[in-house]
Structure 1
């Protein structure tokens, strides 16, 4: 259940193709090899109202949170997280050259005892792979 949520400041609309960012994160997650394809979700949420640092309107941010299920050791989580962060950070390099951009990425492990899911996507992808 790798679910990526990307919050971003509205002033990035003219500078970042968020569809490309979402796709980059999805592909990067697949490249790690530790997340099932049928569980990957990436969403971007535009933040219209925000305040950053001293209130300068030119400042911008992107904050990504990954929620995953239990079962992956720390080394695997760190390696996967670093891969996704490095790919996203590299993609956003031009923003760091501008005045005041902040990128963050946090990973959270959901407790299986208090996390409920229902998903028919896994079965669909398996059936399609079997039958071409």
Structure 2
């Protein structure tokens, strides 16, 4: 259940294609090899109202949160997080030279005892792979 939520300041709409960011995160997460393809979810939430630092209108932010289930050791999570953050950071490099940009990425492991899920996507992808 790797679920990525990307919050971003509305002033980024004119500077980048958020759909490309979402796809980059999705494909990069799969590249790590530790997340089941059928479980990856990436969504972006545009923040219309925000205040950053001293309030300059040109400042922008992107804050990504990954929620995932238990079962991956710290070393594997760190390798995956490093890879995803490096790819996203590289893609966003031009923004760091603009009027001020902040990027963050946090990973949270959900407790299996208090996390409920129901998903038919895994079975669909397995069936498609078997039958071409």
After TM superposition, the score normalised by the length of structure 1 is 0.99
Aligned to 1:119: 119
For 1:19 and 1:101, the matched residues in 2 are separated by 19
- Aligned positions of 1:1-132 closer than 5 A: 1-132=1-132
Unaligned runs of 5+ in 2: none
1:78-128 Cα offsets, whole Å, 9 max, x none, are 000000000000000000010110000000000000000000000000000
Q: Which runs of 4+ in 1 moved over 6 A?
A: none
Partner-residue secondary structure (3-state), 1:16 = coil
Please report the RMSD computed on the Cα atoms of aligned residues, expressed in angstroms: 0.3
For 1:93 and 1:38, the matched residues in 2 are separated by 30
For 1:57 and 1:97, the matched residues in 2 are separated by 16
1:8-42 Cα offsets, whole Å, 9 max, x none, are 00000000100000000000000000000000000
1:25-75 Cα offsets, whole Å, 9 max, x none, are 000000000000000000000000000000000000000000000010000
For 1:16 and 1:119, the matched residues in 2 are separated by 32
For 1:120 and 1:33, the matched residues in 2 are separated by 21
After TM superposition, the score normalised by the length of structure 2 is 0.99
For 1:29 and 1:121, the matched residues in 2 are separated by 17
Unaligned runs of 5+ in 1: none
